Amino acid sequence: MAKLPNPIRYRIERKLLSIYLRWYGMVAAHGVERMKLDLSATSWGRVIAVTLIGTAFFIAVAFFVDSFNFLYLSPEALWRAQMTDLFLPLLLGGSFLFVLMWKIRQLAIAQRDLSVIAATDSLTAVLNRGAFSMLVEAYLEHTSKEEHTRSGALLIIDADHFKSINDRLGHESGDQALRLIAQAIKGQLRGVDLVGRIGGEEFGVFMPGVDPSHSWLVAESIRRRIREMDFSPGGRPCPLSVSIGGTSFSGPTTYEEIFSAADRRLYTAKANGRDQVSFDPAGVSPVPSPSVGTVH
């Protein structure tokens, strides 16, 4: 994949990482309390806070400027001056700040939504290839700077004999199959896991903080769930299956390294007959799950 200029790439990675932290709930995983007042650009908290603080500042300035004349005013004139200094900034300044911050909030929401749309595959509603790889790279870079590097795993999931589905049943049926596969994958993952469409019929799954045995169980649950799905376009049964290559890590690494390792395992799964999971390290003990339920 072509590399973007460093400043642009950095801004994109930071933006996508912030979306990931907010979208998938990783804020809680980093020890930030959810009950704190939300002062983000898309929140009403910032609109209210800036409106109140700004209005109080306007009122304080009005009283400060007029205070030099207060000693020379009669009690009635003093009362009128004080009411003017209170309500004029309150009505004019408060209204102006509220409308201004409301418009800024709308722009921030629109920018956030556009960023999410730009990072999403329109067919399957999962991350697209660029967003997926950038988020994984940003996560690995972020955790490499921590004292205790997190573990994790990467899966590459490839639909078996997908070309024949398009050839026999048409591209519309192929699109439907991809949507079903993406839905099945998401159904077996946690909220903090990433899933993206990284090729025509290939999906990537990144699971932070999991060990190899758990990763294998997740991969196997995905494979079995897809195998047992009912896919009958036009009333013609068409069993779906996937081959999955996976790798785990427990120290500093890069996206290129874990992707290459998982890709090699995917080729192994394909060469061994498809519809199976091949995982690295090879010492992982396959422990069949008694059911196809979601693995957390």
The alpha carbon dihedral of 163, 120, 247, 5 has a sign of: positive
**Do 158 and 270 form a contact (C-beta atoms < 8 A)?**
yes
Cα–Cα distances in Å, from 106 out to 41, 42, 238?
Answer: 9, 7, 46
Q: Per-residue pLDDT tens for 192-238? A: 999 999 998 999 999 998 988 899 999 999 999 999 998 988 888 89
Q: Per-residue pLDDT tens for 75-118? A: 899 899 999 999 999 999 999 999 999 999 988 888 877 777 77
Please tell me which residue, 163 or 19, carries the higher pLDDT value. Answer: 163
From the candidates 137, 201, 228, 257, which is the catalytic residue?
A: 201
The question of whether 13 is a catalytic residue gets the answer no
Long-range contacts of 139-144 (CB under 8 A, 24+ apart): 139/17, 139/20, 139/206, 139/208, 140/252, 140/253, 140/254, 140/255, 142/17, 143/208, 144/252
Decide if pLDDT at 29 tops 70. no
Please tell me which residue, 193 or 150, carries the higher pLDDT value. Answer: 193
User: 43: buried, middle or exposed (CB in 10 Å: 19+, 13-18, 0-12)?
Assistant: middle
Query: Quick one: pLDDT at residue 148?
Result: 61
Decide if pLDDT at 35 tops 80. no
Percentage of the chain exceeding pLDDT 90:
51
